[in-house]
Structure 1
Amino acid sequence: MGSHDPKWWLGEPIWETVVNNGLKASTYFWPGAEVKKGSWTCPKGLCMFYNSSLPFQERVDSVLNYFDLPSDEIPSFMTLYFEDPDHQGHKVGPDDPRITEAVARIDTMIGRLISGLEKRGVFEDVNIIFVGDHGMVGTCDKKLIFLDDLAKWVEISKEWVQSYSPLLAIYPPPGVSPKDVVGKMNEGLKSGNVDNGEYLRVYLKEDLPARLHYSESDRIPPIIGLIKEGFKVEQKRSKRQECGGSHGYDNAVFSMRSVFIAHGPRFGRGRKVPSFENVEIYNLVTNILNIQGAPNNGTSSFPESILLPSH
């Protein structure tokens, strides 16, 4: 529940940037939008507090209603969020027929959005960016690594563990050397005497591959374990057998990738673009809106590689 405290949010979100540039923004369940931060006050009627039980069609219709406002009141930037098919993916994994059904439902909602915009005569004037935040991979309980199996080398108390899967994060107590713990854990994992030990590698956070950008923040625990795709870490053995889905593995893994589809006056028809990192989308939006963005991790040249020149 502490997620609404602005202290956790260090960057400037796109809706705050939009407002800083004197334009109107609306957000529908976009993560972080409920946080009052900087010039963003989560304005009534333009900022919806997350409620997963609100039907998807109601969300779409609310956004379409913005286009019925007087033209100077229509937000320049709008977000819309659906928690499917992520919701089903966690329960049943990515290859279950229920995922196909969930995708079809979202497809119907996008259709509802498009026909609503067409009915209002604005579909060709609106730039729509359709993105997901991550992929999904199946996890099953035969793919497990147990921390208790390392007891011969080092005892990892459950109180030390901040998260088990898909990223192992360990905070040893004061007086216990993280370097020592990492050394002993890897010795055990490489010994051949720990089930699935070869599918986990443990690092001091400063030794993680630089491409992960996962060492600078003091919020990141000192010990991080990278788990191979589809495997899970647990504390101790149990008889539980379940299959589901997860994300948050190394972002170089293909199954962690997501989707990017865009349409509108600034996007060329039928064009395919090479894969890119989601941090690029911020500069894409500021370029379309022709506004000044905050410093960010995207590249300034990226929008030109994707967008048509503005008229």
Structure 2
Amino acid sequence: MFDPVLNESFSMTALDVYKPEFWEDAVPIWVTNQLEGHKSAAAMWPGTDVKIHDVLPSCYLRYDESVPFEFRVDRIIECFNGELTNLGLLYWEEPDNSGHHLGPDHPLMEKVIADVDAMLGYLVDQLKKAKLWGSLNLIVTSDHGMAQSSLDRVILLDDYVDRQLYRLIDHSPTVAILPKAGKLDEVYQALANAHPNMTVYKKERIPDRFHYRENVRVQPILLLADIGWTILRNRSDIFNWGDHGYDNLHPDMYPLLIASGPAFKKNFTQDALNSTDVYPLLCHLLDIKPLPNNGSLTNAMDLLVRHPQQCPAYGGA
């Protein structure tokens, strides 16, 4: 993303990631947990190695993709056993990495999913050895789904607009365009009806349901590819065989959520839960006060063995 106030860009793959000013529009749950006097542990969860609002988790690892999952699990469990930790955050790059490189429909993804399943088995086994299984609430979730791409479904911006007229800020399938000074209308008109599988919005016309319009880091023009389509400047750009960031109403974009522990019902299935509802759910489990947010504990109450007496008065709960 690009922040016009700071006049700086941010990427998760660059050292920009350690600049707190890019994170501090919100307060992560591990920061709230620490400020309420508890201890948080994290292993490669994005943002947990950044000093946000001058706070770091009590126990964390600096992000390094090469660190094996088993080491991450072992470190988290050490933190629970020795630090009086009440919140642990554990991140694993799969199946996202392979999904991008292969595409979710590739036959090799079956082994990737089997490996992820084995890693979760390792986590459960280690929790049992540490005598934490059964007393700890475990939530396994993701931040998105994945859709299959194809070289037959590519939109090339260079076919429609001069690249000297704009700066490409964010990439397919949700492309953020920053036009050069005085070129907004020219770039918009060139792209507005350029391709039937690409929707083009001026910032002020981005639909309300995307909740993506008010922040200064949202660029003046947004391009959204239809599911399975890819937007590139030309064929020399990096192409992913699998991608996410499409319209979140499409089922291929749905994440998963599985929960187990004393707070949760057994053998219970709910059709859907908004990802934003996970935050108030976690706050309830940790018995900490949620900050203003877009989620609702009400939507998650049926997952729980006991319904809370009342929901936090935030986020429409």
Shift of 1:272: 0.4
- Report the equivalent of 2:212: 214
Cα gap change, 1:309/1:104 in structure 2, threshold over 3 Å: closer, same or farther?
same
- Report the equivalent of 1:171: 178
More helix by share: 1
- Report the equivalent of 2:152: 142
Structure 2, unaligned runs of 5 or more: 1-14, 309-317
- Report the equivalent of 2:52: 37
- Report the equivalent of 2:17: 3
Cα gap change, 1:175/1:36 in structure 2, threshold over 3 Å: closer, same or farther?
same
User: Greater relative contact order (Cα 8 A, min sep 6): structure 1 or 2?
Assistant: 1
Q: Report the AA paired with residue 40 of structure 2.
A: A
With structure 2 as the length reference, what TM-score do the two structures score? 0.86
Does the 8 Å CA contact 1:158/1:235 hold for their aligned counterparts?
no
Q: Report the AA paired with residue 99 of structure 1.
A: M
- Report the equivalent of 1:185: 191
Q: Report the AA paired with residue 149 of structure 2.
A: T
Does the 8 Å CA contact 1:20/1:39 hold for their aligned counterparts?
no
CA distance in 2, matches of 1:168, 1:23: 40
Aligned residue for 1:88, secondary structure, equals helix
- Report the equivalent of 1:234: 232
Shift of 1:67: 4.1
Shift of 1:198: 0.6
CA distance in 2, matches of 1:234, 1:310: 48
Q: Report the AA paired with residue 227 of structure 2.
A: E
Shift of 1:306: 2.4
Aligned residue for 1:171, secondary structure, equals strand
Q: Does 1:81 align with 2:96?
A: no
Aligned residue for 1:301, secondary structure, equals helix
Does the 8 Å CA contact 1:34/1:48 hold for their aligned counterparts?
yes
Find the structure with the greater CA-based Rg: 1
Cα gap change, 1:59/1:225 in structure 2, threshold over 3 Å: closer, same or farther?
same
Q: Does 1:92 align with 2:99?
A: no
- Report the equivalent of 1:47: 60
Cα gap change, 1:289/1:271 in structure 2, threshold over 3 Å: closer, same or farther?
same
Does the 8 Å CA contact 1:28/1:47 hold for their aligned counterparts?
yes
With structure 1 as the length reference, what TM-score do the two structures score? 0.88
Cα gap change, 1:141/1:158 in structure 2, threshold over 3 Å: closer, same or farther?
farther
Cα gap change, 1:6/1:242 in structure 2, threshold over 3 Å: closer, same or farther?
closer
% of aligned pairs identical?
32
Shift of 1:82: 0.6
* 1:271-292 per-position Cα deviation (integer Å, ceiling 9, x unaligned): 0012122111111111011111
Q: Report the AA paired with residue 127 of structure 2.
A: L
* 1:200-248 per-position Cα deviation (integer Å, ceiling 9, x unaligned): 111101111110011101111100111101111222356x996611111
Aligned residue for 1:47, secondary structure, equals strand
Cα gap change, 1:8/1:149 in structure 2, threshold over 3 Å: closer, same or farther?
same
CA distance in 2, matches of 1:40, 1:241: 36
Shift of 1:66: 3.0
- Report the equivalent of 1:295: 292
Does the 8 Å CA contact 2:141/2:256 hold for their aligned counterparts?
yes
Structure 1, unaligned runs of 5 or more: 190-196
CA distance in 2, matches of 1:17, 1:243: 36
CA distance in 1, matches of 2:239, 2:134: 46
| Match of residue 127, structure 2, among 117, 136, 139 | 117
Shift of 1:264: 0.4
After superposition, the CA RMSD in angstroms is 2.1
Matched residue pairs, number?
A: 293
CA distance in 2, matches of 1:209, 1:243: 26
Q: Report the AA paired with residue 31 of structure 2.
A: E
Does the 8 Å CA contact 2:48/2:56 hold for their aligned counterparts?
no
Shift of 1:29: 0.7
Does the 8 Å CA contact 1:140/1:242 hold for their aligned counterparts?
no
Q: Report the AA paired with residue 192 of structure 2.
A: N
Q: Does 1:127 align with 2:125?
A: no
